A and B are shown apart, each in its own frame.
Chain A
Amino acid sequence: MIEDIELETLINDIYEYYGFDFGSYSRASLKRRVNRIYQLDGFKNFYEFLSKVRYDPEYYKNMIDEITVNVTEMFRDPAFYKVVRNEILPQLAPKPFIRLWHAGCSTGEEVYSMAIMLREAGLLHKSIIYATDINSKVLETAKKGIFPLRMMKEYSENYRDSGGQEDFSSYYIANYGIAKFNEELAEKMVFSQHNLVSDNSFNEFDFILCRNVLIYFDNNLQKRVINLFDESLSILGFLALGTKETIKYSISTTKYKQLEKEKVWRKIK
Chain B
Amino acid sequence: MAEDKINAKCKLVIIGGSAGSLNALMQILPELSVLNSFALVIVLHRRGTDDMTLEELIKIKTEVPVKIIEDKEPLLPGFLYVAPSNYHLLFEKNETISLDTSEKVNYSRPSIDVSFESAAEIYGDSLVGILLSGSNSDGTEGLKMIQKAGGIIIVQDPESADMPFMPNNAIVHTTPDYILNTDEILKFIISINS
**Chain A: residues with CB nearer than 8 A to chain B?**
26-29, 31-33, 69, 71, 77, 79, 212, 214-216, 218-219, 222, 242-246, 248-249
Contact = CB atoms under 8 A, between A and B. Distances in A.
B102 A244 contact: no
Contacts of B79: none
Top 9 A-B residue pairs of the complex, sorted by shortest distance between their CB atoms: A28-B90, A69-B102, A215-B71, A26-B98, A29-B100, A246-B70, A215-B99, A28-B98, A212-B101
Contact of A219 (B72, B84, B121): B72
B92 A28 contact: yes
Interface string B92-113: 1100101111110000000000
A122 B84 CA distance: 35
A71 B101 contact: yes
B50 interface: yes
B98 A243 contact: no
A244 B92 contact: no
Contacts of B121: 31
A246 B73 CA distance: 10
A150 to B, nearest CB: 16
Nearest to A211: B101
Contacts, number: 62
B178 interface: no
A29 B98 contact: yes
17 contacts: A26-B90, A26-B92, A26-B98, A27-B92, A28-B92, A31-B121, A32-B102, A32-B117, A69-B102, A212-B101, A219-B72, A242-B101, A243-B50, A243-B84, A244-B69, A244-B71, A246-B71
Given A243-B50, A244-B99, 16 more contacts: A26-B98, A27-B93, A28-B91, A28-B92, A28-B118, A29-B90, A32-B100, A32-B114, A215-B87, A215-B101, A216-B100, A219-B72, A243-B84, A244-B84, A245-B70, A246-B70
Contacts of B69: 244
A160 to B, nearest CB: 13
A244 B87 contact: yes
A79 B86 CA distance: 14
Contacts of B100: 28-29, 32, 69, 215-216
A8 to B, nearest CB: 12
Contacts of A243: 50, 84
Contact of A249 (B72, B84, B93): B72
Interface string B180-191: 000000000000
B86 to A, nearest CB: 8
A77 B50 contact: yes
Interface string B73-86: 00000000000100
Interface in B129-156: none
A79 B48 CA distance: 13
A70 B90 CA distance: 18
